[in-house]
Structure 1
Amino acid sequence: MTVLQNVMWFLDVRTVLLCVAVLLVLRWFLGRPKNLPPGPWGFPLIGSVLAIGREIRRGVEPHDLFMRYAAKYGPVFRLKIFNKTVVVLNDYSSVKEAFQHPQLQDRPKMLLTKVLKSDGVSIASGQPWLELRRFSLTVLRSFGVGKTSFEEKIGTEAEELMKEMSAFSGKPFDPKPLLGNAVSNVICNVVFGKRYEYTDEQFNKLLSLLGRNFKLLGAGAAVNFFPALRYLPFVSIDEIIANFEEIRMFITTIIDNHRANFDADDVKDFTDSFLMEIKRNEAKDASGVKHGLLSEGNLVGTVTALFAAGSETTATTLQWTLLYMAVYPEIQQRVQAEIDAVVGRNRLPRMADKPELNFTRAVIWEVQRLSLIVPLGVAHAAAADTQFRGFLIPKDTLLVPNLWAVTHDPKVWPEPDQFKPERFLNDKGEAVQAEELIPFSVGRRSCIGEHLAKMELFIFFSFFLHQFTFKKPDNSPPLSLKGRGGLNYSPFNFEICVISRE
């Protein structure tokens, strides 16, 4: 081949590549639907990935970055993450309106579905999700979840936890493992029909893996929803999959044990109830009757969802309550004084005391507001092209609720970064929860364990403050109220001293 031929070949290849690049850019700009929400410019093919990644490396949390975008583009704005359109909702009214819209209730496709080899109540969409949610809520209520009658089980676990705390005799310790085990035992009691000792190494490892994955999945569980992120060098996808595989095996073993010992006349827990429903559906199917949508295919996913959601988020909220009490001892004293006045020193608090414990409830709400555990909630997906607030939301668009922005909106919460429990008290000193406080999200896909979590928070927190005073260890650095991101927003590891009250 002559030199001229080499040059011509090179020019031909370069021309082809240039044409391909131009076509991709034109497709990027001209192929976008009209009337989308406004948003920042992104590169072809990768969208805003580089811009967001750069800010995260600088230490900016995604929820704070999205608040910055919202100030520029409005409370409803659009991003492109690789080939996916993402609409971020940044105020209460837009989140509430979107998450009550019947066409904006689906879930995006998830990595979790493949890893668990199952979908479930938190993953499914359409009619399967409706049936799973209806069934799950009915069964949980049948076992007393959310009812006053369930407080005895939570109280028993809280007393076990306080024995473990007392054993440190005022010496510093990390409360995270104990809180995680105690809270998880409450949901395990309902779902698996058993609790685990605080010394159970296998169970403690499982909780550690779960907590680790909540961090690795990233804000809003981004890795779960965007397949291309899994190939970035700083994403620990192999570790995430290995951790979930170990969790799946643990739960599958429990389900297999339930199946082997199943007794239709003695249904003990949620897993038994699900197996009973599967058997009923199989019987209907055998007789030619159209059966329900509950099956082996969504058993593992549903049980895992209840276990994970019922363990990690409430335990993390309780970590924050202890931290805030240690940082604000005067607030802690006010809570203790109120509990003493209402309850006395001769018994522990009860749910019946809740209406009179106004400041105690206000403190719990203010901690939830300031340390919003899941800042970007869990994404929804558009089931079809949908008109929303004058914008087009194309089918399969991800809708991300910036719940952090909702609970830190200065138009709703004056001095939003200040710890002020009084903001939840009216002129009569009565506790009034603002509708904009939505730590469990809103709409038909709001957290299925909301009622259980609220009861747990009240009972654990009121028990703690009735029995203990929480203090920063002597000669230790100041406790930090800054958290670290992930799927959940949690405190940096800290140690605390628990002093028994007389």
Structure 2
Amino acid sequence: MSVLQNMMWLLDVRTVLLCVVVLLVLRWFLGRPKNLPPGPWGFPLIGSVPAIVREIRRGVEPHDLFIRYAAKYGPVFRLQIFNKTAVVLNDYTSVKEAFQHPQLQDRPEMLIQKILSDGVATISGQPWVELRRFCLTALRSFGVGKTSFEEKIGTEAEELVKEMSAFNGKSFNPKHLLGNAVSNVICSVVFGKRYEYTDKEFERLLFLLARNFELLGSGGAINYFPELRHVPFLPTSEIVSNFKEIREFLLKVIDKHRAAFDADDLRDFIDVYLVEVKNNQAKDDIGEEHGYLTDDNLVGTIENIFAAGSETTATTLQWALLYMAVYPEIQQRVQTEIDAVVGRNRLPRMADKPELNFTRAVIWEVQRLSLIVPFGVPHAAASDTQFHGFMIPKGAFLVPNLWAVARDPKVWSDPDQFQPERFLNDKGEAVQADELIPFSVGRRSCIGEHLAKVELLIFFSFFLHQFTFKKPDNSSPLSLKGKNGITYSPEEFDICAMKRE
């Protein structure tokens, strides 16, 4: 009798499990909104994850896989990732229109928010509007976007030139030097100081940021999909640990600012933010309505600005040096132009920009081909939204495949070729194409875009004015193949900076 009871119990359990599976599958098929964008078939519950993982294991980069999907389903297609709908945008028109749409401006929930708290790049709705406005105003108040700020960038560029000169033409890996120099520019605004290249604590911070950019993977999948955080072979625990260490560093900086705070002498971005927080707290104490700037948002915002103002620009400069070593004839043309415009008795400056046409074209072409953030930063739909004849459901991700935009053969002839001349008109004047959008587009485009553009021109022109960059003798050929993280960075490489007379 007990054996029969056990068999009946087992049958009951199997029946219940079967019913649960059937219900989940029915919910999967019947619960989806109508008129979604087309896309590849996905399994119930896990969606397109197996197909994407299979292609990645075969060596296909996600941005290239999405280009294949776009060829089949159109420039706006849908993927189902677990219980999330991701709408991938693969041409300039769809990215621009989507990212200007008022209902497609939110951010999806991110892992980074849970550790560092909300920041200007991760928050949504009215708090984001207020926080972005404040950040732009505060950064401008300390010179970002003004001619006077060029001096700070130039000073850091000169320090970097000294560091490169110290190698006396011997090979070195430029990654650390570039990261420290570019980060120091944003540090001067946010932290009110610069760090020596030998500062171990700051070197550790840069390592943690770069490491997490790599670990988060192409497009930052772990950051956006909670389900992936529990997969045992993914590096979630290291990512969380790194973010916590970054948070401790930033909290120490903030505490030092609080201890030395003087409302009559606001030294940097943190001081200005602390004033705003104090004003909001005072209003809260007497029951008045106040803004969204809080202590909780400060750490996340500092990290957002710091990461956006350092990692991407430093990586672009790595690519620029690599391309110059691989294409020495292009490097020589840049040097010839800089010498003709600037001469050999002074360093370049922003006033030279209108005449540095080929130099600017080379920077743009490096940005186009290296496309540092292939998938940008995803948006999320604030509500059910009609877009290009499709329904974008509330909460859906909108992923811009900026890599596809930068290599669209309808826009760029020979898109895989390094051809800076594509940005020159018949008069030899530099003309930036609208479709070149390495900083994304719309109201949520990179908050540090203007700063990055100035940094790229000053650092790059300083480098080519002072050095000729070459592959080390007896070394393997330099590779232009990158490695995918949140940023698309070059493989580690050494280079020689030969001092010019």
- When the two structures are superposed, what TM-score results if normalisation uses the length of structure 1? 0.98
Task: Report the Cα distance in structure 2 between the residues aligned to 1:127 and 1:22, rounded to whole angstroms.
Answer: 41
Q: Secondary structure at the match of 2:309?
A: helix
User: Higher mean Cα deviation, 287-296 or 44-53?
Assistant: 287-296
Aligned-residue CA RMSD in angstroms?
Answer: 1.1
How far off is 1:7 after superposition?
A: 4.4
How far off is 1:2 after superposition?
A: 5.7
Letter in 1 for 2:84: K
Q: Secondary structure at the match of 2:103?
A: helix
User: Higher mean Cα deviation, 140-149 or 17-26?
Assistant: 17-26
Q: Secondary structure at the match of 1:80?
A: strand
Identity over aligned pairs, percent: 79
Paired residues for 1:282-293 under 5 Å: 282-293=281-292
How far off is 1:280 after superposition?
A: 1.6
Task: Report the Cα distance in structure 1 between the residues aligned to 2:319 and 2:193, rounded to whole angstroms.
Answer: 27
Q: Residue in 2 aligned with 1:347?
A: 346
Q: Residue in 2 aligned with 1:365?
A: 364
How far off is 1:218 after superposition?
A: 1.2
Task: Report the Cα distance in structure 2 between the residues aligned to 1:219 and 1:207, rounded to whole angstroms.
Answer: 20
1:129-166 CA-to-partner distances (Å, cap 9, x unmatched) read 00000000001111111222111100000000010000
User: Higher mean Cα deviation, 238-247 or 2-11?
Assistant: 2-11
How far off is 1:99 after superposition?
A: 0.3
Q: Residue in 2 aligned with 1:130?
A: 129
How far off is 1:3 after superposition?
A: 5.2
Matched, 1:91 2:91: yes
Q: Residue in 1 aligned with 2:495?
A: 496
Pick closer, same or farther for the CA change 1:194–1:25 going to 2, 3 Å. Answer: same
Q: Residue in 2 aligned with 1:176?
A: 175
Paired residues for 1:2-401 under 5 Å: 5-116=5-116, 118-401=117-400
Task: Report the Cα distance in structure 1 between the residues aligned to 2:131 and 2:12, rounded to whole angstroms.
Answer: 58
Task: Report the Cα distance in structure 1 between the residues aligned to 2:301 and 2:16, rounded to whole angstroms.
Answer: 50
Q: Secondary structure at the match of 1:86?
A: strand
How far off is 1:297 after superposition?
A: 1.5
Task: Report the Cα distance in structure 2 between the residues aligned to 1:176 and 1:293, rounded to whole angstroms.
Answer: 37
How far off is 1:228 after superposition?
A: 0.6
How far off is 1:234 after superposition?
A: 2.7
Task: Report the Cα distance in structure 1 between the residues aligned to 2:155 and 2:226, rounded to whole angstroms.
Answer: 43
1:43-75 CA-to-partner distances (Å, cap 9, x unmatched) read 111111111111112221111111111111100
1:222-275 CA-to-partner distances (Å, cap 9, x unmatched) read 111101111223310110011011111001100010011100000010000000
- When the two structures are superposed, what TM-score results if normalisation uses the length of structure 2? 0.98
Q: Secondary structure at the match of 2:399?
A: strand
Task: Report the Cα distance in structure 1 between the residues aligned to 2:75 and 2:20, rounded to whole angstroms.
Answer: 36
Letter in 2 for 1:354: K
In structure 2, runs of 5+ residues without a counterpart are: none
How far off is 1:282 after superposition?
A: 2.0
Task: Report the Cα distance in structure 2 between the residues aligned to 1:5 and 1:302, rounded to whole angstroms.
Answer: 61
How far off is 1:420 after superposition?
A: 0.2
Q: Secondary structure at the match of 1:262?
A: coil
In structure 1, runs of 5+ residues without a counterpart are: none
How far off is 1:13 after superposition?
A: 3.1
User: Higher mean Cα deviation, 488-497 or 4-13?
Assistant: 4-13
Query: How many matched pairs?
Result: 501
Task: Report the Cα distance in structure 2 between the residues aligned to 1:124 and 1:12, rounded to whole angstroms.
Answer: 47
Q: Residue in 2 aligned with 1:480?
A: 479
Q: Secondary structure at the match of 1:285?
A: helix
Task: Report the Cα distance in structure 2 between the residues aligned to 1:156 and 1:448, rounded to whole angstroms.
Answer: 23
Letter in 2 for 1:16: V
Q: Residue in 1 aligned with 2:407?
A: 408
Task: Report the Cα distance in structure 1 between the residues aligned to 2:19 and 2:285, rounded to whole angstroms.
Answer: 59
Task: Report the Cα distance in structure 1 between the residues aligned to 2:398 and 2:318, rounded to whole angstroms.
Answer: 29
Q: Residue in 2 aligned with 1:432?
A: 431
